[in-house]
Amino acid sequence: MAYKFDLHVQTLPEEEQTNTFKFVSLGFTGGIGVKGFQMLINQWLRTFLTTRGSDPADLTFGTDFPKLIGSNVGYADARDIVMLAVDQCNETVTRTQAADVTLTPSERLASATIVEYVEKPDAPGFDVSVEIKNRANERLVFNLPSLSV
């Protein structure tokens, strides 16, 4: 039986994220194949960080979250955009996974929700914590956009 793996994307250090506006990389060593919960997390993050409409094969893939980077919107509007982006991402991942019968419960999205939104006027910016749950009842809470756990 052949196992299905996803290519593991690794988060960059926060200092490098700030300097380059890049969040993830394929790493500095060879590619790493992942499956299980990490595969779901990678799929969710890749969808969340892709600008909606930028994939010519599927114009509904992605979210509006990347448009916030460098924008000049208020905190209330930013919060609404992040909430909408999480919903867009959940819908896209669920739709994509529906067609794949080989996924295990640990690779299937149950939910992703915002658990905390903190305005940071001195930064300026905000911190958002998102909780991802899979169908195997595993969960992970991480910070956006730094993706730190």
What's the confidence (pLDDT) of residue 26?
56
What are the residue boundaries of the structural domains of the chain, listed by start?
A: 6-108
Strands 10-11 and 125-134: unpaired
pLDDT digits (tens, 9 = 90+) for 27-62: 555 556 677 888 898 889 889 988 998 888 888 889
Could you give the CA distance from residue 138 to residue 28 in angstroms, rounded to a whole number? Answer: 28
Burial class (CB in 10 A: 0-12, 13-18, 19+), 23: buried
Contact residues for 67 (Cβ-Cβ < 8 A; gap 6+): 51, 81
Which of 40, 5, 6, 48 lies closest to 23 in space, CA to CA?
48
pTM of the model: 0.78
